[in-house]
Amino acid sequence: MSLLDVIFNLKAGKYTEDISGKMPAHIGIIPDGNGRWASRRGLPRSMGHRAGSNTLKRIVTYCDRIGLKYLTVYVFSTENWDRPQEEINTLMKLLEGYLQNAEKELAGTNVRIRIIGDLEGLSPELRKQIPRVEELTKNNSGLNLFFALNYGGRSEILHAVREIADDAAASKINPKDITKEIFEKYLYTKDVPDPDLIIRTSGEMRTSNFLIWQSVYSEYLFLNTRWPDFTERDMAEAIRGYAKRNRRYGGI
């Protein structure tokens, strides 16, 4: 029996290993290593991103099938604008294509897509496609897939602070009443549980401004695998490893 079958019997639609109560609700992914994957093969970096986007599509389908509720993928950070324009164009075109073909890309799944990040900096085509696809998938009850796009944790927090300041200036909120729960309502991730597990591929051990408020008690998994080589089996192993961890949230 393969590992995938051990954890989740896709045909029977049930868990075959006892990870009851230990299935993460929310997994975050930092899909690193597209460029290195391509360079090692003597290919242009754009081919690495293309391969990475195919991996992402497979992993999204897998996560939906195994009943994961939330998956957030860091597809473009506020710092990624520092890359060469050609590479930025490749990434934006991949995203545009994915959203333009969402009906086909998501066929057979029950995935709901949402985008978190600063949408104002994005191309007119992306700003057209994002509301279309969010509307198209809004009644889907399977995996909630978030693309963190032009996203940075610090800019998300600053955005929340500015909105709270506006509300305070308009007397809609009293600064004394601001609690953690109220603050979180101003984040892009309002109504989304904090990530239980964050996976970063390709050997880098840093968090790079990803969900910095939300990840204070997340479990991390750093893998050497380059993102295009990441498989459903790696995801199953990650979930299995997570299920064995002892989370204490600062307690004993």
Kindly list the catalytic residues: 32, 80
149 near ligand FPP, rule: CB under 6 A:
no
200 near ligand FPP, rule: CB under 6 A:
no
Tokens representing 92 are 């934006």
Task: Report CA torsion sign: 235, 241, 243, 247.
Answer: negative
61 near ligand FPP, rule: CB under 6 A:
no
Q: Are 17 and 7 in contact (CB under 8 A)?
A: yes
Q: Among 26, 49, 112, 200, which residue interacts with ligand FPP (rule: CB under 6 A)?
A: 49
3-state helix, strand, coil in the chain (%, to 5): 45, 15, 40
Q: Residue 229, SS3? A: helix
93 near ligand FPP, rule: CB under 6 A:
no
28 near ligand FPP, rule: CB under 6 A:
no
Q: Parallel, antiparallel, or unpaired for β 70-77 and 144-151?
A: parallel
d(CA 52, CA 111): 19
Q: Residue 88: phi, psi to the nearest 5?
A: -60, -45
- CA 9 from chain centre, in angstroms, equals 24
231 near ligand FPP, rule: CB under 6 A:
no
| Eight-class DSSP state of 225 | S
Nearer to ligand FPP, 13 or 203 (CB): 203
Q: 126: closest CA among 90, 160, 97, 86?
A: 97
31 near ligand FPP, rule: CB under 6 A:
yes
**Nearest position to ligand FPP, beta carbon:** 35
CB 132 → ligand FPP: shortest distance, Å? 16
Nearer to ligand FPP, 227 or 242 (CB): 227
95 near ligand FPP, rule: CB under 6 A:
yes
Span near ligand FPP by CB under 6 A; candidates 3-11, 15-23, 34-42, 217-225 = 34-42
Span near ligand FPP by CB under 6 A; candidates 33-41, 136-144, 182-190, 237-245 = 33-41
Q: Kindly list the residues in this chain that would bind ligand FPP in the complex (CB under 6 A).
A: 31-36, 49, 52-53, 56, 75, 80, 91, 94-95, 98, 202, 227
